[in-house]
Amino acid sequence: MSHPIHVLWSVPRSVSTSFERMVMERGDHHVVDEPFSRAYYFGPQRRSSRYSRTIAHSDPHEVLAELEEAAQDGPVFVKDMAYQARDVLDADLVARLEHSFLVRHPAAALRSLARGWPDFTPEETGWEHLGLVADLVEEQGRPLVVVEAESVCADPAPVVADWCRRVGLDFRPDALSWPAGMRPEWELWEDWHGSTSRSTGFAPLRPVPDPPGADEPRLRAAYDAALPVWERLRAHALRA
């Protein structure tokens, strides 16, 4: 018997790793961190030339098969960026998985991304494909389950409790805190997970910065493209 595969779709720099860490602390899911990044950045048909390293068995269809194999043994939770799964994003994939979304104000998410990757591409901002997944979910008559980063970080208990209710899980308050430390699941992207590895729970975010201005044309273009997707998904967000 196959168990559910639940995917939390997000964009870079949206505290999705903290949410993933909470699910790890529950202890009732096999948790997989950004498996489709292997295909996008390191696979034989990679979509990005950012890295020269190649990782075997990183075709996106192989990645999906691995997740489905893991689901034979128990529930699976995946945190990923939709753009990294672009080559398998279709109605069939959406029908085979359970879906949640996590969004953060694009002014904050994009500035954080630009600090790590000043040469980010429009696709790497993540918003276009996040909207595509939302389209596919709604086309199948399924509700959009959306977590807002600012809300879950400010008051995690009610937001996580509501998320659990919406996805059919029991709420476990003890999972809202965890011991600090790097996790083996984060090995591929350790450089991006430093702050979460030092954390022991959700923490309030800094105030949202001002939107990029005309003197930051790349960031401004990315912000203008992201804003409608963020506004659409935020309208469905679980509230504390």
**Would you state the pLDDT for residue 164?**
98
**Would you state the pLDDT for residue 187?**
79
CB of 59 within 8 A of CB of 98? no
Q: Which domains does the chain have, with CATH numbers?
A: 5-234 (3.40.50)
CA pair distance 62, 165, nearest whole angstrom: 32
CA atoms within 13 A on the CB side of 222: 28
Structure tokens that stand for 48 in this block: 């990005």
pTM for the whole structure: 0.94
pLDDT in tens, 128-175: 999 999 999 999 999 999 999 999 999 999 999 999 999 999 999 999
- Considering only CA atoms, give the Rg of the chain: 17
**Would you state the pLDDT for residue 203?**
94
**Would you state the pLDDT for residue 36?**
95
Helix (H), strand (E) at residue 193: none
CA pair distance 4, 179, nearest whole angstrom: 27
**Would you state the pLDDT for residue 168?**
97
Which residues of the chain are modeled with pLDDT < 50?
none
CB of 117 within 8 A of CB of 24? no
Angle between helices 217-234 and 106-116 (to 10 degrees): 140
CA pair distance 107, 220, nearest whole angstrom: 9
Q: Can you name the residues that pair with 30 across neighbouring β-strands? A: 76
**Would you state the pLDDT for residue 12?**
95
**Would you state the pLDDT for residue 45?**
84
**Would you state the pLDDT for residue 56?**
80
Q: What is the DSSP string of 108-145?
A: HHHHHHHHH-TT--TGGG-HHHHHHHHHHHHHTTPPP-
